[in-house]
Amino acid sequence: MPNENTTLVVLAAGMGSRFGGLKQVVPLGKHGEIIADFSVYDAKLAGFNKVVYIIKEEMQEQFTETIVSRVKGSGVHVELAFQDANDLPGGLKAPATREKPWGTSHALWAARNVVNEPFMVINADDFYGRAVYQSIRDFLTDSSSGEMDYCMGGYLLENTVSSYGSVSRGVCGVKDGFLTDIEEVLAIEKRNDGIGYSTETGFKYLPGSTVVSMNTFGFKPSIFAELEAGLAHFLSENLQSPRAEYYLPLTIQELLAANKATMRVLPALDTWYGFTYQEDKEIVQKAVWGLIEQGKYPDKLF
């Protein structure tokens, strides 16, 4: 029998530098709900029975008072994990010049002691739509999938860019429903004549139909050993770099290249809303309130 216990892991430790503050706790719902509250609501409907928030330890008091206390009333088991720049494998120590943690792979590794079941990982500041939670949970509870069989929600690039500035996306190659490669591309922007990013040789355009990762992955606990090994290797080359980050797409690309894992791409067709810049807030809030008015969400989530 498959393991029916599944966890939602929410990456909420981002500094929110482009947004101008802790965007993870900006209220959007009619009763102060944040984007991640809607994610937990959707995940619970899909059958997830536990949520783990990965945050910075200095956020703990505010996060517990404003977020955890509310979500606990929903009946979902809640735990916290802390991303710390000094929490590194093999006894490594971050240099004194390091001002921030080491990226999304490092953030997910922070949950290694509180997640022992299949899980879905998401960003705290993205609104993904309901269907992706059900499709990923169905994959995670499928007894025919192995410990190194993972999945992801595949979004269309044209539906995931901001009108107010650049974004980072995992640009994907897909064949026969499986991920073949993934590259973290920084500073993707929307221009009047298309979407793309600057390179040393000029501006490279990307088709709007390009499949991208929005950090919606379905993993088994086996990923934690891979994260640790990959992080140790990354740090052996980048420990003294003040801004180097180890992203989840890089970990996944390494596993695919070594034929150590498979990743099924599950089409994510619901509307996605991003929350990167201050100007995005009005758009996201209008969309969320519209869904409430349509009866897709209750006026008060929990």
- pLDDT 10s digits, 157-177: 998 888 888 888 889 999 999
Q: Identify the CA nearest to 34 among candidates 77, 63, 3, 8.
A: 63
Per-residue confidence band for 24, with pLDDT thresholds at 50, 70 and 90: low
Write down the pLDDT at residue 15: 46
Q: Is 298 a member of any domain?
A: no
Q: What is the arithmetic mean of pLDDT over 25-37?
A: 80
User: How would residue 20 be classed by pLDDT, with cut points 50, 70 and 90?
Assistant: very low
Does the global pTM surpass 0.85?
Answer: yes
What total of structural domains would you count in the chain?
1
Residue 138: inside a domain, yes or no? yes
Burial class of residue 166 (count of CB atoms within 10 Å of its CB; 0-12, 13-18, 19+): middle
With pLDDT > 70 as the criterion, what percentage of the chain qualifies? 94
Residue 172 within any structural domain of the chain: no
In a domain, 259, yes or no: yes
Tens digits of per-residue pLDDT, 93-118?
888 888 788 999 999 999 999 999 99
Rounded to an integer, what distance in angstroms lies between the CA atom of residue 281 and that of residue 30?
Answer: 14
Contacts 24+ apart (CB under 8 A), 189-196: 189/161, 189/165, 190/161, 190/162, 190/163, 195/157, 195/158, 195/161
DSSP sequence for 52-121: EEEE-GGGHHHHIIIIIHHHHTTT-EEEEEE--TT--GGG----TT--S---HHHHHHTTTTT--S-EEE
pLDDT per residue as tens digits for the range 112-169: 999 999 999 999 888 999 999 999 999 999 989 899 999 999 999 998 888 888 888 8
CATH no. for residue 224? Answer: 3.90.550.10
Check if the beta carbon of residue 238 is closer than 8 Å to that of residue 127.
no
Residue 168, classed as helix, strand or coil, is strand
- Domain annotation covers residue 21: yes
Pull the structure tokens for residue 175: 């064949």
The pairing of beta strand 77-82 with beta strand 149-156: unpaired
Helix (H, G, I), strand (E, B) or coil at 181: strand
Residue 181 belongs to a domain: no
Which domain, by its residues, includes 89?
A: 7-154+214-293
What distance in Å separates the CA atoms of residue 170 and residue 179, rounded to the nearest whole number? 11
In this predicted structure, the answer to whether residue 30 has a pLDDT above a threshold of 60 is: yes
Structure confidence at residue 16 as a pLDDT band (50, 70, 90)? very low
Question: Per the structure block, which two tokens stand in for 209?
Answer: 């139909």
**Is 260 contained in some domain?**
yes
Q: Is residue 186 part of a domain?
A: no
What digits encode the pLDDT tens for the residues 290-302? 999 999 999 988 8
